[in-house]
Amino acid sequence: MIGGGPLDMGYLHAKADLVRQGRLSPASFAVETAEKDARLIVAAGADHGVRLDVVAAGAERFRRAAAQGHGGQDMGASYYASFTP
């Protein structure tokens, strides 16, 4: 589905494989850690007068995934935040 497109990169393939195979634990980088880091990046940007809207959207996606119970899983589990309960 992503082959040959602008998102055709090894990292995305690796995370997609984890989701497909259900191998999100142990996490190499947890959803909750990704959310924390994204929020820190947004705050640092704001401190310097820069709006980092895409990073803020990513932080929100990680927050939703954590709220769904995926906080301790690999950040690839943010995939599940794509769907409404």
* Rounded-to-integer distance, Cα 81 and Cα 49, Å: 29
In a domain, 14, yes or no: yes
71 is a domain residue: yes
Q: Residue 57: which CATH number? A: 1.10.1040.10
Residue 55, in any domain of the structure: yes
pTM of the model: 0.89
Residue 4 lies in a domain: no
Q: What's the total number of domains in the chain? A: 1
The whole-number average pLDDT for the span 10-27 is 95
**Higher-scoring residue by pLDDT: 3, 30:** 30
Q: What is the pLDDT of residue 60?
A: 98
Q: Is 82 in contact with 65 (CB distance < 8 Å)?
A: no
Kindly state whether residue 37 falls inside one of the protein's structural domains: yes
Does residue 1 have a pLDDT over 70?
no
DSSP H stretches of helix in the chain: 10-21, 31-47, 53-65
**Residue 57: pLDDT band with limits 50, 70, 90:** very high
Range of the domain at 25: 10-82
Per-residue pLDDT, 7: 87
Asked, for residue 39, whether it belongs to a domain, the answer is yes
